[in-house]
Structure 1
Amino acid sequence: MKKFLFNRFDKNTLQRKVASDPRERRVISFYRYFKIEDPSSFRDQLYDRLEDLSVLGRIYLAKEGINAQCSVPIENYTPLRSFIDSIPELAGIYFNDAVEDKKESFLKLAIKVRKKIVADGLNDSEFDPSQVGTHLSPLEFHNALEEPGVLVVDLRNNYESEVGHFENAILPDAGTFREELPMVETLLENEKDKKILLYCTGGIRCEKASAYLKYKGFSQVHQLQGGIINYAKAIQDAGLKSKFIGKNFVFDDRLGERVTDDVLSVCYTCGKASDRHTNCANLGCHVLYIQCEDCSEKLKNCCSEECKSVVELPDEIQKDLRKQKRKMHQYPTHHLTRKIVGK
């Protein structure tokens, strides 16, 4: 019988399958920069075995390495660890266990081959990505935050840092990691001799960023091993007061892990204190935004009255509207292309 190395079910079916599975699941993430000669072949090998272990999640592969966020039934955690360790390039890779495990964090297994495992906009041929900054354990990072004159830099996007961040951190107002690196370089251009502490969600963005900053002449670059996820667990286990306040944004259906009870942001709709991220229910919009539960109920999980009026329409009409919207966005691009070619 032929085995399919991709998901074949719709979202509703996937939700039912996950809900009916009685097994508890562990949410983990891991990454490593290493050379993959044939990412497509490696992808199929991974998918075949991970599906057998009931792993769900999102894994990106590129010639530069692997970046994975996934969940696994607790009974298969050790077999998964053994399988990953059996791959020489991945042996001993650090598993970053989530602070909060939620069964519905992922609904399917998706393994995708990309040009890069993180879209950083950098030309890796200009510098050595392996020359990373000094890794600090969560407790070392926690103590370093107390040092006078240290600079703490959040390497996440603005929608992540607005709901939670380290105290006194520099929070670049960037929508993507690609935009953020040159922004950080500019913000710190007169601080090249100071001790710099970098952090992100799980640590992967700091790997490339620390190497880039060292290449640009920053002499004391340090990074949080395992990111906020690792820090939150370690601080909790040590019984210490967290210097990360608020919520840690995560890229799965949970959209966040509660680290402290502090609520740092407000509902975009009414301005009431809230750090509840959601996506607009109008698939033609689907914008990520912060909205309190009261406004979400009033607007039927939409970002505005306009989007609410759309989701109240029959499904077929909504699909037609999305098609029209796509055509409207495509036409100017095609028109400009024809003008330039014919010029």
Structure 2
Amino acid sequence: MTAIHSNASATLPQANHPYKVMALYKFASLPDAEALKTPLAQFCCNRGIKGTLILAPEGINGTVAGSTEAIDALADYLFATGPFGTRLQGAEVKYSFADTAPFLRMKVRLKPEIVTLRAPEADPSKAVGTYVEPGDWNSLIDQNDVVLVDTRNDYEVGLGTFQRALDPATANFTEFKDYVAQNLDPARDKKVAMFCTGGIRCEKASSYLLSQGFEEVFHLKGGILKYLEVVPPEQSRFQGECFVFDERVSVGHGLELGNATLCRACRHPLTDADRQHPDYQEGTSCPFCAGDEAKHQAAAERQRQMDLARQRGTMHLGDEAATAAKKAKARKVMQAEQSRERNRG
């Protein structure tokens, strides 16, 4: 087996844990995405791999987990020996390890885009902006003639962003086109730098800006997560925490666990200040959904069912999910403390 992308992961922390996690994306021409879906799903299911992979004519995106042997076999299948041929080589891949299964089932989904922008002129497989390594990012964004744009959605920006970054205030990525049309000008904004959580959104955004006539377009390679991982806190230009789409909710410098939680009613991330707001009621409402009675009623009913399940001595599905999230968060806090202790030693 070729074992592409797998050797470096052997030296990662917690590499002795039973589950290896692979997060990946690649913009590539996959006009045969529909034909690739079933063989990919069968390959994963036959090896006990679980998670979600999105296939589209523009590429692949997703996160999966399984045994080290299974994930290494999948890497070989995707990048070398499988029906993708060499089209996915050079994919952005991140490995980590977990002591419990992160996913319950395997899903391969076919979608029109791996990142929904609805702008056919944006094609990262043909044209993309200049990648900037995290170590070089500060020197770029410190330049006065660089326009810095956060391509994430408003609830993500609210937790943290780079100093002097522009906030498009978008509810979803498809609105980014309108923001560009109304606020950016290729004749005026000669240098535009963009960033997102892991690199995929700003890669597509950079392709879109190039299609609109912008000449010098830059984007942070590996996204905020890679920046927080490798740039020392004392040199960082990032303020706050970075929202992540898993049970951690947010991370800070060194990818240490953040303080954010999710509102159970509207799923909006909440800071310490948000949880002190008069409109916050644990499990029922928060400042961001204060006027949405339908969400409050649904959350209150879910909480009531969880309370009834506890009284009967059984476990409600929502209670089980919340408990699992709390355990995972506590486990990550403990691992972070252990890591700090080892570093001090």
**TM-score, with normalisation over the residues of structure 1?**
0.68
How far residue 218 of structure 1 moved from its aligned partner, in angstroms, is 1.2
CA apart distance, 1:72? 4.1
Cα deviation digits, residues 220-249 of structure 1 (max 9, x gap): 10111121222222325xx86322232222
What does 1:291-330 correspond to in 2, within 5 Å?
Answer: 299-303=281-285, 306-307=297-298, 309-314=300-305
**What is the CA-CA distance between 1:169 and the residue it aligns to?**
0.9
Alignment match, 1:288: 268
Pick from 268, 272, 276: which aligns with 2:260? 276
Residue 90 in 1 paired to residue 88 in 2? Answer: yes
Amino acid in the other structure paired with 1:106: F
1:120 corresponds to 2:117: yes
Structure 1 233/160 Cα, relative in aligned 2: closer, same or farther at 3 Å? same
Please give the secondary structure, in 2, of the residue aligned with 1:90.
coil
Distance in 2, matches of 1:127 and 1:119, equals 11
Alpha-carbon distance in 1 for matches of 2:246, 2:130: 29
Equivalent residue runs for 1:257-268 within 5 Å? 257-259=251-253
- Contact 2:228-2:252 within 8 A present in 1 as well: no
Aligned to 1:174: 170
Residue 231 (structure 1) aligns with:
227
| 1:1-343 alignment runs, 5 A limit | 23-74=17-68, 76-86=70-80, 87-88=84-85, 89-97=87-95, 103=100, 105-122=102-119, 124=120, 126=121, 129=124, 130-189=126-185, 192-235=188-231, 241-259=235-253, 276-280=260-264, 286-290=266-270, 299-303=281-285, 306-307=297-298, 309-314=300-305
SS of 2:192's partner is strand
- Deviation of the 1:212 alpha carbon: 1.4
Closer, same or farther in 2 for the Cα pair 1:24/1:309, shift >3 Å?
same
Within 2, Cα distance between the matches of 1:286 and 1:111?
27
Query: What CA distance in whole angstroms lies between the structure 1 residues aligned with 2:37 and 2:263?
Result: 29
Mean Cα deviation higher: 204-213 or 29-38: 29-38
Structure 2 counterpart of 1:120, one-letter code: L
Please say if residues 247 and 256 of structure 1, whose CA atoms lie closer than 8 Å, have aligned partners that are also in contact.
yes
SS at 2:262's partner residue?
A: strand
1:161 and 1:244, CA in 2 relative to 1: closer, same or farther beyond 3 A? Answer: same
8 Å contact from structure 1 (residues 96, 202) kept in 2 = no
Partner Cα separation in structure 2 for residue 95 and residue 214 of structure 1:
25
Compute the displacement of 1:127 (Å).
6.0
1:167, 1:243 within 8 Å by CA — same for their partners in 2? yes
Q: Structure 2 regions of 5+ residues with no counterpart?
A: 1-15, 287-295, 307-345
TM-score (norm 2): 0.67
Task: Quote the offset at 1:95 in angstroms.
Answer: 0.8
Whether the 8 Å contact between 2:242 and 2:250 is mirrored in structure 1 is yes
> What stretches of structure 1 of length at least 5 have no aligned partner?
1-21, 264-273, 316-343
User: How much does 1:29 deviate?
Assistant: 2.2
Report the CA distance between 1:194 and its aligned residue: 2.6
Distance 1:120 1:131 in 2: 16
Percentage of matched positions with identical amino acids: 27
CA distance in 1: counterparts of 2:108 and 2:267, whole angstroms: 24
Deviations 1:114-160 (A, max 9, x none): 111111021x1x46542111111221223312223222111000111
